[in-house]
A and B are shown apart, each in its own frame.
Chain A
Amino acid sequence: MGLHETKYRGVMGWVDSRVPSLMNAFRVHMAEYYAPKNFNFWYFFGSIALTVLVIQLTSGIFLAMHYKPDSNLAFWSVEFIMREVQGGWFIRYMHSTGASFFFIAVYLHIFRGMLYGSHRKPREIVWIAGSVLFLSLMAESFFGYLLPWGQMSYWGAQVIINLFDSIPLIGPDLSTWIRGDYVIGDATLNRFFALHVIVLPLVLLGVVAAHIFALHDVGSNNPDGIEIKDRLGADGRPLDGIPFHPYYTVHDMYGLGFFFTAYFAIVFFAPEGGGVFLEGNNFLPADPLQTPQHIAPLWYFTPYYSILRATTQGFLIWIAAGALGLGVLTYLSVRGMGRRLLVAGITALVVALLTVPKVQLDAKLWGVVLMGSSTMILFGLPWLDQSPVRSMRFRPLWHRAVLGLFVGAFLVLGYLGMEPPSPARTVVSQIATAVYFGFFALMPWWSRMGQFKPVPDRVRFVAH
């Protein structure tokens, strides 16, 4: 008859005999997906990020029903949603708070990866999909932030799009093409609306699926960094694995309880987040003729904004020194004349573009390059990390200090990015920028150094 054999009965049996892929997917990805049993607190943030994505999509749909992407109407349509639409204030606050919580979850999720070596072989593609997701999320929130058409929306977008001007040859035309006009205006607003509501959500959904499928194909990592598939039981299942459903579905529900408590506390009691989640200046309609005293992006972009601002003319010589040092180190570490020549050539080119007067690229362009590289460098982590063990738990203790130094640099950059600049603050952010890039650039060397502890056979788990 063409029907598949099914073990289910009733409605489920009827569907399963016709579309077995559904229950098959449930089995492969949930009921028979064996995940390590020693997941800890850091392993909540993936499912939290997924939940926030769903929240953003749903609240976004309802906002889009009332929002008007026209430069004369946009600001007032948001206030209309806040006052006249039933529950509109709730939907708006959920969406604005959700954007910030998305980044909190994602940053902590990335940190987990760095802590336990989730980026390493054989999970490089999971990590690359994740890096693509991170970039897409940044683009999505950048486009979304213009939509309320407030002062900060307008001027923040103005600053960032003007950065593209500094790209040699194509810069100004590129900026005009992105904007759709010579200045940010109605044309820009309309296209950012389309990008924010349709293009990037589709990209996000697609790459999330790829991220999860890539993970499930290879199996999850765990805090001890060992492969649970190396120790299979008589039934062919990992000895240290437990089915994702019901153990981790119920575990994640518990974690989501904490998340929702923090999230809704903000939504109901402090949606402005002290001016950090909803900036006061954005309650003024965009005015192209009045520049705010202090333009800053939202808090989750401030570390990268700090790196951009730290790249002054005076800092270029230090970058050149760092590049030269890195070049020498790499030259001494690679074998073969061909490779060494390549390293020498690239180093010479970079140093020239930083220091030699006629060919020197200006500080603004270098700032853009550094800001871009600070996010792109995440893609390289699987290859930069040369440690013989995966998890931080079995690495020399000073490796934790190095990671702590990096996190500290990131937080300092983030804080300074929210504040107006000053000569002293610029120096501090330059030091932090050096630490940030040094952490990644020197990783092939420092990750190999030190006394590593023996990695156990089986995961360490305490029954609870």
Chain B
Amino acid sequence: MSKKVRRGARCAVLAAWGVLLALGAALPAGAQEAALDHWPSERADDMVAIQRGARLFVNYCLNCHSARQMRWNRLREIGINDAQIKDELIFGDQKVGDVMTVAMNPHDAKNWFGKAPPDLSVMVRARSTAEHRGTDYIYTLLRGFYRDRTTLTGWNNVVYPNIAMPNILWQRQGPRTLTLTRTESEEHPAADGKGPGTRELVRVTSVYDADGNVHVEKTPADKSQGEGEEKVVFTPADAKAAAQVDDDVADLVAYLNWMAEPTAHVRYKIGVWVMGFLVIFLLVAHWLNKVFWRDIR
């Protein structure tokens, strides 16, 4: 077989599999995820941001959520000394060498909220998938609360519908109105009750006001607007307060990101040295191999 034919055969096989793979990959499996906001990742190395996040965490999260793998004295690694930890962060009678457990009983929590608040030690890693990063997820989640009269707590969430958690930062954030726009397809049964009905595309606009009342408007939509796409717009009553909360949540996520893997920066630093060593090792090994193999004809 000539080179051309061989290459052609190889290309044909690859092309066939490429087509099949693309078919399998491109066709969606089901509901698509709402697009998440991007967390400002430069805060991952910002000690001040992480410290602010630690303070917010202790004040707002550590009442219901535990972080039982996080030892208080580990906060030394982000520049907070033992005296500061004891005086300003630990509210109860825990010692600086204790772990961040909380008094909330999971059984009680389940009765009150419907679900025990999960431990947050590794939550950022737990929410990381191939599609999105855990930091982006939690950043969008904590800023995605809206008032909704129909839920137990009066709060709902655009990222996690019917979440059992209330909006912890509501007082800092001030009231907000949510406008949710979604294109759905509505089925109408046939007028005579027999035969297939009709399907039409509708644009559904739901407005949740600051008291949690919802006003829904439906307008016919054209095919150019894709089905299932959702647009989320929050309108804060106090723009400055809402922007401050955005900033706070970014710091909080920076802290949660650090807490999920406190040794991450150590890992990186040692890794650079290890790679350096391995490059030198490779050069020496290559040379040694060459020297030995010179005898082989």
Contacts and interface: CB of A to CB of B under 8 A. Distances in A.
Nearest to A37: B296
Most B C-beta atoms less than 10 A away, residue of A251, A268, A419, A421:
A268
Contacts of A284: 118, 126
Contact of B275 (A82, A265, A280, A431): A265
A285 B118 CA distance: 9
Given A83-B262, A275-B128, A422-B27, A264 B289 contact: no
A352 B6 CA distance: 42
A398 B9 CA distance: 8
A257 interface: yes
Interface residues of B, number: 61
A405 B13 contact: yes
Interface stretch (A162-170, A342-350, A408-416): A408-416
A401 B10 contact: yes
Given A247-B296, A397-B1, A405-B13, A424 B128 contact: no
B263 interface: yes
Given A274-B130, A405-B13, A464-B293, A415 B282 contact: no
A452 B57 CA distance: 71
B23 A424 contact: yes
Contact of B69 (A80, A419, A432): A80
Given A76-B69, A268-B271, A412-B17, A428 B130 contact: no
A397 B9 contact: yes
A251 B5 CA distance: 36
Contacts of A265: 271, 275
Contacts of A111: none
B69 A257 contact: no
A415 B24 CA distance: 9
A76 B68 contact: yes
A264 B278 contact: yes
Contacts of B292: 246-247, 250-251
Interface residues on A, range: 35 or more
Nearest to A421: B29
A269 interface: yes
B190 interface: no
B282 A428 contact: no
A435 B288 CA distance: 44
Contacts of B127: 280
Interface of B: 1, 5-6, 9-10, 12-14, 16-17, 20-21, 23-25, 27-30, 68-71, 74, 118-119, 121-123, 125-130, 134, 260-263, 266-268, 270-272, 274-275, 278-279, 281-282, 285-286, 288-290, 292-293, 296-297
23 contacts: A83-B69, A89-B263, A253-B288, A254-B285, A254-B286, A257-B281, A261-B278, A264-B275, A268-B270, A268-B274, A269-B267, A269-B271, A283-B126, A283-B260, A401-B12, A408-B14, A412-B20, A412-B24, A421-B29, A424-B23, A424-B24, A463-B296, A463-B297
**9 A-B pairs closest in CB distance:** A268-B271, A283-B126, A408-B17, A280-B128, A428-B24, A420-B29, A424-B27, A257-B282, A254-B289
